[in-house]
Amino acid sequence: MLIGLIPDVHQSTHFIKMVEENIDHLDKLVFLGDYVDNWQSTILWHIPENNPINIISKIVSYKKKYGNKIDLLLGNHCLSYISQNPISKLVSGHQQQHDKEIAQAYLDNLEHFKIAVKYDKWIISHAGFSKTWVKNQILNGWNKKQSIIDWCNKMIQEKYFDYFNWTGKISPSGDEVTQTPTWIRPFSLVRDSYFKNQIVGHSEASFAPLFIKNKNINLILVDSPKHNSYFELDTNNLPKFETIKNVLTNIKKRKK
């Protein structure tokens, strides 16, 4: 299976070219969330093609056009609007002055959004699933007989948004194993991964995509600082995975 991956958009328009140039040869195309918010959010509101309402509308239009070939996932910069949790609204670039308008744009199209999808043994979400977080969802009604992915997607449609908000106690950035699939950071995820194979955005990585291996866990990071990253995964021809130590060493060498 050939899967196209578009990580955090953050009100950029690079995704338009990515979709239109690649959709025909792909089996699936997955957006990994965080469609709005930017350090220049105030300016971008007044630029039609970068306006958050228009960005959401454009992305949803692709979903409507291509149907099941495209998946739209939710990230922490999406939940910060629809959950109405004041802590979630502390994310960088949150547009408080347009909070209700952006929230409504998501809610009007909620049927098109998910927390995660699974294709050919690969779990794709905004930030990833830890063992600790999944186990804790038993308290929220998850039954182990049900796929945690199906349960999460059902909870979104039933508007139990708070299950996916920031729940940290130590790291404000989300680098702890208790964090949700829209918040956990890679270092915590790779040492407590619930699934053997995960693909995530959320954490901007120099020289993305990065292919990290920890024992029997494989993690692909695809988000980039410029929000112009696009990656295709051929599940029948996997890339080489390396330890965290080797990945960090290689990044340092490339920076030099």
Q: What percent of the chain has pLDDT over 90?
A: 82
Q: Pull the structure tokens for residue 47.
A: 């630029």
On the question of pLDDT at 142 being above 90, the answer is yes
CATH number, domain with residue 16: 3.60.21
Mean pLDDT of the chain: 94
Range of 95's domain? 2-255
Q: Per residue in 62-71, pLDDT tens?
A: 999 999 999 9
- Tell me: cis bond preceding 209? Omega within 30 of 0 counts: yes
pLDDT exceeds 70 at position 199? yes
Question: CB count, 10 Å around CB of 190?
Answer: 21
**In contact, 34 and 126? CB cutoff 8 Å:** yes
Mean pLDDT of 38-58: 95
Compute φ and ψ for 74, nearest 5 degrees: -100, 140
From residue 173, alpha-carbon distances to 85, 167, 190, 200, 203 in Å are: 16, 11, 16, 16, 10
**pLDDT category, 208, cuts 50, 70, 90?**
confident
Residues 164, 133 contacting (CB under 8 angstroms): no
CB 221 within 8 A of CB 244: no
Whether the Cβ atoms of residue 200 and residue 182 lie closer than 8 Å to each other? no
245-255 average pLDDT score: 78
Query: What's the confidence (pLDDT) of residue 117?
Result: 98
pLDDT band at 256 (very low <50, low <70, confident <90, very high): low
> Over the stretch 83-125, which tens digit does the pLDDT of each residue have?
988 888 889 999 999 999 999 999 999 999 999 999 999 999 9
Q: Per residue in 213-236, pLDDT tens?
A: 999 999 999 999 988 899 999 999
The domain tally of the chain equals 1
Average pLDDT over residues 235-253: 86
pLDDT at 253: 73
Task: Look at residue 247 in the predicted model and tell me its pLDDT.
Answer: 82
